Homo-oligomer: A and B are copies of this chain.
Amino acid sequence: MAQDAGAAPRTRTQTRNRAAILEAGLEVFSEKGFRGATLEEIARRARLSKPNLLYYYPSKEAVHLALLENLLDAWLAPLVALDPAGDPVEEVLLYLRRKLALSRDYPRESRLFAGEILRGAPHLGPVLGGRLATLVADKAAVLRGWMDQGRLARLPPEHLIFSIWALTQHYADFDVQVRAVLGAGRDPYAEAGPFLETLFRRLLAP
C-alpha cells in the first residue's frame, strides 16, 4: 500500500514515481488549471497508467495539494531570508532579485500559485491567513524598524512587499502578454532586472 500521500516514500520505485507524478502534475496544472487538467494527461506525462497514478495519490486533489504544499517553502524562502542584520536597501534588493529569479527559473510554479489565488485560494486558503500573514507581519516589522531608523524610505511595509510580488510574478504569470508586447528576440528578464533594480533604488532611498 502506498495510499498515504503524507508518508515518506520507502522504496526507490515510490520515490521515482511520486517525483514523476509531481513533475507531470506541475506541468499540466500550471498550464490548464485544476479543472482543465485531467488525470489521464498527468498519468501519460508521468509514463504511468491512470489507476497506477491513483495508487500513489488517492485523488486529483491530492496531487494538486501536494504540489502547492511542496511549493510553499521554496516560494516563501526569499522573504524568510530577509536579514534584519543586513543593510536595509541591499536586503530588499536582494529579496527582489531572488524573487525575480524564481519567476524566471520556476514560471510553472508561479502560474500554479497564481491560478490557486485567482480562484480564491480554495485549497490553501487557511495558509494565507496563517503562515503567510504571520511571515509578512514579521518582516513588515523589520522593514518598519529600518524606516524608524531612517535607513529606508517610510512606506507601508506590506504594500512594499506586495509591490515586489506583483512586479516579479507578473513576468511569469503574464508571460504570453509580455512576450507579445515586447516582440520576439527580446529577453524580458534581462530587461526587467535593471529596470526593477532602478525602480526600487529610487523608491527605497531614505
Contacts and interface: CB of A to CB of B under 8 A. Distances in A.
Interface of A: 31-36, 111, 114-115, 117-121, 125, 128-129, 132-133, 136, 153, 155-156, 158-163, 165-167, 169-171, 173-174, 176-178, 180-183, 191-192, 195-196, 198-199, 202-203
B191 A156 contact: yes
Contacts of A178: 162
B35 A129 contact: no
Contact of A181 (B31, B114, B136, B171): B136
Contact of A159 (B36, B177, B192): B192
B132 A181 contact: yes
Contacts of A163: 167, 195-196, 199
A96 B74 CA distance: 32
A192 B31 CA distance: 30
A118 to B, nearest CB: 6
Nearest to A205: B202
Given A159-B192, A195-B155, A199-B203, A176 B125 contact: yes
B120 A174 contact: no
Contacts of A177: 117, 121, 128, 132
A159 B35 contact: no
A119 B35 CA distance: 12
